[in-house]
Structure 1
Amino acid sequence: MNARLWDISPPVHEGAPVFPGDTPYRQRWVATIAPGCPVNVSEIALSPHIGAHADAPIHYDPDGATIGRVDLPPYLGPCRVIHAIARGPLVEWAHIAHAIDALPPRVLVRTYERAPVDRWDAQLAAFAPATIERLATLGVVLIGIDTASIDPADSKTLDSHQTIRRLGLRVLENLVLDEVPEGDYELIALPLKLVNADASPVRAVLRELARPGPGA
């Protein structure tokens, strides 16, 4: 039987929410099927932080790597989805402590009952830096969240981004975890090889883990 997949990426289209001041998604057709033209071809403009995306270290570190130069293993492999729904402005350790036994190296946190895929949420939940510190001590190499940032929207110091910079963690933001039960999955969320970019959209999916058969 095929393993079940959960698509945890929001739709990307004109009107998709972006951080205020960031580049919105725009698309136009530069060629359309017609006599003498056998194909449709479009041109797009967008922020690399639109939709589900991976931040590159250069986004928060002037000397950091661009997304096209980061290693891929953090974005692929066992992960755990933990629910901390409507628990306040910061995901504190107490909100996820119920689900940290035998933790895999990737952790995605759900904070919304329903992710606001059609609007910008200035009150988004973020990670407390201390939570990231403790996850790193347990071997976590990637954290993800279903909001647009691991820091509060009005933060000027980006304490959580600076924590992942110091610890060498990778991050996924703007996931959609509405339909995903708490538990363990395989994460597949590879960034594009945008050689000089500060982030990349990803098509993030979770795959059901293989279960041992009878007698295994």
Structure 2
Amino acid sequence: MKIYDISMEIHENMTVYKNKKEKRPKHTITVDSGDVRESRISMDMHTGAHIDAPLHMIRGGDTVENIDLNKVITKCKVFDFTNISDKITSEDLASKDIQKGDFIIFKTRNSFREDFDFEFVYLDKSGAQFLKEKGVIGVGIDALGIERNQPEHETHKILLGAGIVILEGLRLKDVEEGEYFLYAAPLKIRGAEASPTRAVLIKEE
């Protein structure tokens, strides 16, 4: 089998949403004596590859420790949308083989940029509604947000309101369109609206 690490490397100068300084992680050495080293990291829950739970956009929504692991340790389908320059819509999705119970991952031109792109490719509300009606269990994208400049956060609310897991911050440059096995379990953080994950795709050879 071949394992694709589709996570971002976490460090103090990494790409963060809209280049906001307060979102940059801080890694501090707390003990460095003899053979012993210990350190502490402080970072936004939405750093790098991460899972959004319903509470992120839905008041009173469920939290990340309650996400069904069957939804994030599962077969998945990667779709290549590198030809799209703005947003993924229901029309773009209609030609793809999307079935009830699928976990869908979007590879876009976002994967080929190291800096933050304020015009990143995103999933619009029509695409989110399409996936809700199809009955998918999860959606992943190679951007630090699954939507951009939608004032009511419709994409998030449609997906999270339907119990669809959102996986953001992926790196898919070396991944081809096809079927894989996804492992993207979040940390078991009580009461959190999101969690970083070490996301990988596995391809049986």
Both structures adopt the same fold (TM-score exceeding 0.5) = yes
The answer for the alignment partner of 2:10 in structure 1 is 12
Q: 1:129 aligns with which of 110, 125, 135?
A: 125
Tell me how far 1:159 sits from its aligned partner: 0.9
> What's the secondary structure of 1:32's corresponding residue?
strand
Tell me how far 1:167 sits from its aligned partner: 1.7
1:79 touches 1:104 (CA, 8 Å); kept in 2?
Answer: no
Question: How large is the RMSD of aligned CA atoms in angstroms?
Answer: 1.8
The answer for the alignment partner of 1:32 in structure 2 is 32
4+ runs deviating over 4 angstroms: 101-104
CA displacement 1:11-68 (0-9 Å, x = unmatched): 110111222445211111000132xxx4110011100101000011111011111112
Q: 2:42 aligns with which of 42, 45, 56?
A: 45
> What's the secondary structure of 2:195's corresponding residue?
strand
> What's the secondary structure of 1:82's corresponding residue?
strand
> What's the secondary structure of 1:164's corresponding residue?
helix
The answer for the alignment partner of 1:139 in structure 2 is 135
The answer for the alignment partner of 1:71 in structure 2 is 68
Instruction: Report the TM-score when normalising by structure 2.
Output: 0.91
Question: Are residues 1:196 and 2:194 paired?
Answer: no
The answer for the alignment partner of 2:87 in structure 1 is 90
Larger radius of gyration between Structure 1 and Structure 2:
1
2:54 touches 2:161 (CA, 8 Å); kept in 1?
Answer: no
Distance 2:184 2:49 in 1: 9
- Give ranges in structure 2 of 5+ residues lacking alignment: none
Distance 1:42 1:139 in 2: 42
Distance 1:86 1:15 in 2: 29
Distance 2:162 2:40 in 1: 38
Question: Are residues 1:187 and 2:182 paired?
Answer: yes
CA displacement 1:70-102 (0-9 Å, x = unmatched): 221110111000011141321023334443165
Count, aligned residues: 203
Tell me how far 1:112 sits from its aligned partner: 1.4
- Give ranges in structure 1 of 5+ residues lacking alignment: 211-216
Larger proportion of helix: 2
CA displacement 1:112-166 (0-9 Å, x = unmatched): 164333x2221111112222222233331100100111110x3331110011133
